[in-house]
Amino acid sequence: MKRILINVALILTISMVWVLTCFFGIVNGWWHAPFTNETDPQSFVEAVEEEIQKEYVGNFAMAIIKNGEVKEEVFYSAGKQVDRNTIFQVASMSKFVSATGVMKLQELGKIDLDTPISQYLTRWQLPPSEFDNEQVTVRRLLSHTAGLTDGLGYSGFETPDAVQTLEASLTKAADADEGKSGETKVGIQPNSSWVYSGGGFTLLQLLVEERSGQSFGAFMKENVFAPLQMTRSTYEWSDSLTDDLCEFYNADGTKAPHFFYTSLAATSLYTSLADLEKLFMLFLKDKKDNSSSPLSQSSLSLMQESHWDMMGEAIYGLGTFLYVDVGNDQYIIGHDGQSNPPINTALRIDPVSGDGIIILETGNPDLATRLASDWVFLKTGKVDTLLFTMLQGKMLNMMGIGVLLITVLVIAIAWWRKRKSN
């Protein structure tokens, strides 16, 4: 019995060492092979162009920014040509842009970030729950810490006429992704955990409309897009945009429909690469010109401060992912977007160096995120928030296979020693 206990303890000890090695190895990128090792913008672009040929892509637009200047742009399309002015739907990258509008509303004195959102709303209220809804504040909605558990995920509607009202969508989104209830409600204690919530940003969309007296799209146009001269950006669909809108594709290469949304702030910004390059410059620490900035530096800095840490690492600010630490409490920031039929968008901004990458694409579910995360890895040697998520499957496989082999090996050695001693 004593020998068995010793062998079990040995298996557990070695397995724990292996599991920790796998975890820290993934976190530090020991076993990650990026799609290229080229860091020069032109060489990186050439590697991207080769990568595009390896898997299906419907449309693709990318910008590489260096020291606050656009150095390279890449365009590809399987059908109608795209360029820097082509309009894309950007899925959840919309949240990053929407957050700038909410911060502008705060600067206009219309809201306070730490006031319960219920005090600002008249058209709709969060349903009663076992938790205190008065702890749901604007700050917590922006940082996904308000305790909402909707997990939305919107699939959109096939025609503009089918789109729900904001109030109806918040009560029960008819276009909720499969497996989601569609109900925006408080399901856990506010400020107890980080839970990504599309419904939270739809609630912020309602907040902007109630406090500004404008439609969400009109407020964003006047207070964010116009100052930045983002002339091809809008949350309000118009048939006049059709000619400039990119085509949508399924992953098998067939044409996909264009979907319409109630959840504009969460998932349905229409914008172009050229316009996002203008937005990119807003977040740089050493901007050459502040005259057109819709936000003060203090608001921009607040968006980039950590409002939730996970395993000791900052992951999210106010409407922005904090991808990796670049020192002195500064982070590569931005947001990704992903929806079906496949849209994948990615934005990475290093506010200190002025370097970054913007990718808009259709027809592939994760190419933009993979390329942008590898850009971060090549620049910093660190695995960013979303790359870590993508590598978790590999990590768990390594852990499982390793523990199995350790168990078999220890048992085999114990059996051999016992046989030899006999």
Inter-axis angle of helices 2-27 and 385-421, to 10 degrees?
Answer: 160
The encoded tokens of residue 55 equal 């898997």
Report DSSP letters for 177-219, one per residue: PTT------B-S-TTSS----HHHHHHHHHHHHHHHSS-HHHH
- Over the stretch 352-389, which tens digit does the pLDDT of each residue have? 999 999 999 999 999 999 999 999 999 999 999 888 88
pLDDT value of residue 11 = 84
Tokens 């914008």 appear where?
271
Q: What whole-number distance in Å separates Cα of residue 69 and Cα of residue 296? A: 22
pLDDT of residue 393: 87
Beta bridge partners of 338: 344
Confidence at residue 422, expressed as pLDDT on a 0 to 100 scale? 66
- Report the C-alpha gap between 393 and 395 in whole angstroms: 5
Task: Give the β-pairing of 343-349 and 356-362.
Answer: antiparallel
pLDDT tens-digit map of 291-311: 679 999 999 999 999 999 887
Q: Closest Cα to residue 41, out of 75, 61, 64?
A: 64
Whether omega for the bond prior to residue 341 falls within 30 degrees of 0, making it cis, is: yes
Q: Which two tokens stand for residue 331?
A: 């982070």
Cα 169 to Cα 256: distance, rounded to the nearest angstrom: 24
CA 102 – CA 100 distance, rounded (Å): 5
What is the band of 288 on the pLDDT scale with cuts at 50, 70, 90?
low
pTM over 0.75, yes/no: yes
For residues 212, 217, 219 and 220, what is the CA-based torsion angle, rounded to 10 degrees? 140
Nearest to 30 by CA among 20, 21, 17: 21
Task: Give the N- to C-terminal CA distance of the chain in Å, as an integer.
Answer: 17
Q: Name the one residue in this structure whose structure tokens are 């795209």.
A: 82
- Separation CA 190–CA 149 (nearest Å): 10
User: What is the pLDDT at residue 64?
Assistant: 98
With a CB cutoff of 8 Å and minimum separation 6, the contacts of 221 are 234, 236
For residue 184, the model assigns a pLDDT of 97
Distance of CA 243 to the CA centre of its chain: 28
Residues contacting residue 179 through CB under 8 Å, at least 6 positions apart: none
Q: What are phi and psi of 313, to 5 degrees?
A: -115, 135
Q: How confident is the model at residue 72 (pLDDT cuts 50, 70, 90)?
A: very high
Q: Which two tokens stand for residue 419?
A: 């046989």
48 token code pair: 């991207």
For the segment 62-66, the average pLDDT, to the nearest whole number, is 97
